[in-house]
Structure 1
Amino acid sequence: MGQRFDDHRRQEILTKINQYIEEYSYPPSIREISKMMNVVSSSTAATYVNRLINDGYLKKRDSRSRTLEITPKGKEMVGFVEEKNHGIPLVGTVAAGQPIVAEESIEGFFPVPDNITYPIDELFMLSVQGDSMIEIGINNGDQIIVHRQSTADNGQIVVAMTEDYEATVKRFYKEAGQIRLHPENSTMADLFYSNVTILGLVISLYRPVLF
């Protein structure tokens, strides 16, 4: 590469990338990394980046430009320690109607209510989409707090993953060799499955907007 690629060089590159992200709120391009590192060839900078990705210091979401992210290992290399967030992670959307895919990507954190005693690392929040649970007060747009667990008793409100890998919030019943997911909306029919995966038990909710 023309220069030794040791821990000092790794730290130098990662530090400059981190400084760029902090200044502009988005990652640099390969050309900009080349300029920052005073290397003539963009291919050399690309090689550096690929080495850092392979070594676990960087990650790239896809093939597009400006999708580099510094991993926790990379942040440790540059001496950046993230403060531990003491909130409940908000991780996407779940259906209260027809099942939809719920993708777990953290969108933010929510302060832990005083009346919840479960360990924080066993909790997550989902935004509700749909109106199948409105008759027990779970409305479209509400955010439900879920205790992560793989079992449930009959009659409990759960977030369940169906055999089609779709997540939904319903009242759970196991009966007669099948699973019945019951919507709390008298205009909707029960859903029947041979098996579902319980993702967690709904223990509370937050309503961002009252009116």
Structure 2
Amino acid sequence: MCPPATTGNNSTTDLPIPQLIQFNPAAQLPIKLQGNLNFATWKAQLVMLLNGHKLIGHLTGAKPALPSTITHNDTTIENPEFEMWFCQDQLIQQAMMASVDPTIAPTIATASSAKLAWELLHTAYANRSHTHIFSLRDQLQNLKKANRSVANYLQEIRSIADAFKVAGSPVADEELAVKILSGLGPEYREISAAIKARDTALSFEELFHKLTDQELFPETPRS
């Protein structure tokens, strides 16, 4: 039988013995795992939560399963430390299962421990997540304005940048600005040179306004 659990929001420093931490996935793990598209982001929130409660060892193996029995006075008895470990591990596994899409939940439910569930999810989605990021980088690298309007060009770039954020690999403003300017046609050469010569990088929104203004009034470059 497991000891009473505390919620993940309460302090237990005034208690004389270790207490189980119970989680509230809806509040503490709001990003549900949908698969490889957001695995990195989902993983980050779970790692931060468990680090905050010093429980990450249940996933990494730093807090492995303890023997279920011990010998005391030549008698084999149940190990109370194993009971504490097992109950906490079950609560972590349950929090993981509650924070994923229903189609993914069986992978966690059938695992014998939180660590095994973690490893199964990594095998299923981590490499695919990296592949997705590489694919997004190719899309961003090859995207050109061509015959489309500046607004459409920038909206497509913004869509790819948002996909990077969801994948847990956001693109810095400076890198995004370089990509945007490199994909413009020769008619934007002057404003591109002026923007590149600035001491500080422009945000995406600032760049959007300058380039759309330049499209409307090409005779007046703006830095």
> TM (normalized to structure 2)?
0.24
| Higher helix proportion (structure 1 or 2) | 2
Q: Which has the higher strand share?
A: 1
Higher RCO (CA-CA < 8 Å; seq separation 6+): 2
Larger Rg: 1 or 2?
A: 2
